[in-house]
Amino acid sequence: GEPLMWEFHWQEMKKLVDEGKAGNLYCRYNTNLSRIEWKGIHLFKDILPQVKDYIMCCSVDATEEVGEWIRTGLQWDRWLENFQTGLEVPGRRDRMKLDLTLTLPGLLDMKEYFMLSQRLDVEILSKLVYAFTPDKVISPLALPKQVLHPILDDLLRFMEPQATVKQKTLIDLLKDLKTRPTFQEQWPDGHRQGFEDGRAWMQQLAKWRGDGGPGKAVRLEDIYSKNSEVLRWWQS
């Protein structure tokens, strides 16, 4: 769930602070960071400075409009402001982490994501979106190898000369993707139908979400147009 949306969380953490017990706590959060204050209680001013230590795994899968497309409800400017507020807690800057689940749309934004990590000087925690069937076309492995590998090579050429230990998990994940079988290789007899089913589902999802309309002007096709081969594959 999303702990910062639980009234119980705020009430109990404030109670522990008021009773002088927060100094015994180590806290680990997984949060989309859409809320950092509740009824006058501020996470980074009233709660976390009082605990013994903490780590904030802040879920965001791409930057700006691509990130907003992947996570409905994300407001990029507000998210970034909330994250930067967390960086300002004295002595706790390195507690803030970018928690990445890599998707295919996100893959096309990874240079910007990498530069965000460097600009903020924060660590990336990286993992690949789960896909156990070939209809999960949100996965980078849905791409044919001849399309996927040039993208990975380009990203690695850009990132590796600049990377620090804080971007290591992203570098490792991109390299690991080159060794993994694509859907075409995992399901040689079923990947075509899986693609059709997955694309149909994504198109239906776009209608429900109102992609291309007010408040969500970016469509998946707009993101994929960043790479002509990806767009050609999607429209094939």
Residue 168 in this model has a pLDDT that exceeds 80: yes
Burial of 214 (0-12, 13-18, 19+ CB in 10 A): exposed
Residue type, 139: S
Task: Report pLDDT digits (tens) over 22-51.
Answer: 999 999 999 999 999 999 999 999 999 999
Mean pLDDT for 224-228 is 97
SS3 for 156-203 is HHHHCCCCCHHHHHHHHHHHHHHHCCCHHHHCCCCHHHHHHHHHHHHH
Mean pLDDT for 155-168 is 97
Residue in 180, 184, 138, 175 with CA at minimum distance from that of residue 157: 175
Residue type, 120: L
Task: Report pLDDT digits (tens) over 117-132.
Answer: 999 999 999 999 999 9
pTM of the model: 0.95
Residue 217: predicted pLDDT? 78
Residue 212: predicted pLDDT? 84
Residue 152: predicted pLDDT? 98
Residue 215 in this model has a pLDDT that exceeds 90: no
Residue 213 in this model has a pLDDT that exceeds 90: no
Residue 203 in this model has a pLDDT that exceeds 90: yes
